[in-house]
Amino acid sequence: MRSEFARRLSLLYAEEVPAYATLVEVCQEINAERTRHSATQLRLGSLERVTAERHGAIRVGTAEELRQVGRIFAAMGMHPVGFYDLRDTGRTPVPVVSTAFRPIDPDELAVNPFRVFTSVLTADDRRFFDARTQDDLERFLAARTLFSDELLGLAERAVADLGLAEDEAQRFLDLATGCFALSEDPVDERWYRRLEAISSVAADIGGVSSTHINHLTPRVLDIDELYGRMSSRGIEMISEIQGPPAWSGPEVLLRQTSFRALAESRLLRNADGTVVQGSLRVRFGEVEARGLALTEAGRDRLDQLDREVATRLSADPSLVRTEVAAQLFDAGLPHDEQGFLDQGLAWFRFAVNPAAIPPGPRPQSLPELVAAGWLVAEPIVYEDFLPRSAAGIFQSNLTGGGSSDTHAQASPRDIGWLREVLGTEVANPDDLYAAQSRASAEAALAELDAACA
C-alpha cells in the first residue's frame, strides 16, 4: 500500500506540476549512469529502491488533522520519527512544527522508504497570530474536513488487521491520494491575503479549505550533476544546495536543492463574491541526495566544520563558499567508510564476511574486525531530515518576509506534545540507527563465536 500510494501521488503530482516530471526523468537518467559506472553508489540502497524513492511534504492546520493523517500513514506502515521546530530555525520564522512519517524497520525501508515531512500550524503562537487571528483561524479550520470518515475507518481497519483486502485497499488508496490533490474550490482572497501578510505558509495551510501535497522529492545519486543538467534544460534552481558541501569523501546525511514555486492557476473569490481566475505560488520541486547516517559525534564534527566555513567566509568575503567548504571538509573528515567507522562518526550494519574468515588472532573492536576482514560493514543511509535545510527549503519558497513579533509568547510544542496528539510514540532517529547497528553487530559476533567454537 505504501509503494502504491507513493506511485499514485507521483502520477498526480506530475500531472499537476509538469516540471516535476522533468526532474524525475533527469534523476533516473543520472541514477542509471552512476550505477553502471560504479557499484559503490549502491552501498546506500539498491537501484530499485533509489529509483522509486520519494519524500513528500504536507502541511495541516490542527492537532486533530495531524492525528488523523497519522492514522492514514500508520495504515501504510509509516510512523512518526523526529520532532522539528521550524518556528525559530533559519532567517524567516515559519509558524509550524513537524515530524516525518516513515517506515522504521530495515526490511520495510528496503521495500519502499516513502516518507512524508508533515507540518502542523501553530495557530496559538502569539509571535505570529494575535488573539483575533487565532480565533478566526481556529474557526475556519474547525469547519473543514480533510479526511472522510470512510477513509479513516479503512485506515483503522488496516492498522488493526495489518492490511486490507484488495478491493478495500484500492478504495483506501483512491481516497488517500485524492485528499492531496490541489482543490478547484475557490479561495477566499481576502482571508488568504490576510494570512499571507503574516506568513505565506500560514496562508497555504489555513487560507484554503483542503490540503495538498506541497512537493514530492526524488532521490538522485549525484546532486551536483543534477543541478547542472536541470539548469541546462531551462529549469532554474535555487541558488544553493542545502546541507553538506560537495567534497571528496562519501556522501553524508542529506543534500537538497529545489526549483522555485511555480505560479499555479487557482480560482479566487473576491470580497463581493465574484469568482475569478487567479494564481498562487506555493508549490515547488525539490531533489535530494542521501548519504551516511552520522552519529552524534559525526554531526558534531560537521557542525564544527560549518562554523569554520562561516568564520573563514566572514573574514574574507571574496572567498567562494563551496570551495572553502570542500577544502575544510576534505581536511577535517576521513575520506572513506572505514575512516568513518574507525572514528565512530557514522552508523553501520555488520555481517560476517561471506568470503572467508581470515587466519590469525581475532581482533576485539568492530572497526578492527572489519579492517582485518572478519566482518563486513554496510553503511546505514540517513532516512531523516535536517532542521536547517528544511527551514532553508521553506524559506526559498516564501513569497514575502511575513511578519512576526519575536518578543511575544511562543506556544509550547515539543516531542511530548506530538506524542500526545498522535497517541503513539514518536521515535528518535538516533535511537533507530543505534538499535539497527547494535542488533546487527550482536548477531554477527554470535555467528563468529559459533563459527570459531
Binding mask 214-243 for Ni ion (x = CB under 5 A): ---x--------------------------
Binding partner of residue 9 among Ni ion, ligand OOG, none, CB cut-off 5 to 8 Å per kind:
none
Residue with cell 496528539: 421
Residue with cell 470580497: 271
In DSSP terms, which residues pair with 262 in a beta bridge?
A: 283
Q: Which stretch binds Ni ion (CB under 5 A): 162-170, 210-218, 404-412, 435-443?
A: 210-218
Site of interaction with ligand OOG (CB under 6 A): 57, 59, 117, 119, 214, 256, 286, 385, 389-390, 393-394
Pick 57 or 121: Cβ nearer Ni ion: 57
Task: Round to whole Å and give the CA distance between 265 and 267.
Answer: 7
State the CB neighbour count (10 A cutoff) for residue 237. Answer: 20
Q: Which residue's CB comes closest to ligand OOG?
A: 390
Binding partner of residue 385 among Ni ion, ligand OOG, none, CB cut-off 5 to 8 Å per kind:
ligand OOG
Write down the least CB distance from residue 193 to ligand OOG, Å: 20
Verify binding: residue 57, Ni ion, rule CB under 5 A.
yes
Write down the least CB distance from residue 127 to ligand OOG, Å: 19
Nearest alpha carbon to residue 158 among 71, 72, 73, 75: 75
Task: Round to whole Å and give the CA distance between 254 and 65.
Answer: 28
Write down the least CB distance from residue 118 to ligand OOG, Å: 8
**Three-state DSSP state, 236:** coil
Pick 41 or 256: Cβ nearer ligand OOG: 256
Pick 37 or 91: Cβ nearer ligand OOG: 91
Q: Is residue 77 within 8 Å of residue 4, measured between CB atoms?
A: no
Q: Where would I find the H helices in 284-342?
A: 296-315, 321-332, 337-342
Q: Cα-Cα-Cα-Cα dihedral of 13, 19, 21, 27, to 10°?
A: -120
Pick 339 or 387: Cβ nearer ligand OOG: 387
Task: Round to whole Å and give the CA distance between 355 and 128.
Answer: 60
Residue 43 grid cell: 552501498
Pick 287 or 441: Cβ nearer ligand OOG: 287
Binding partner of residue 390 among Ni ion, ligand OOG, none, CB cut-off 5 to 8 Å per kind:
ligand OOG
Binding stretches for Ni ion (CB under 5 A): 57, 217, 286
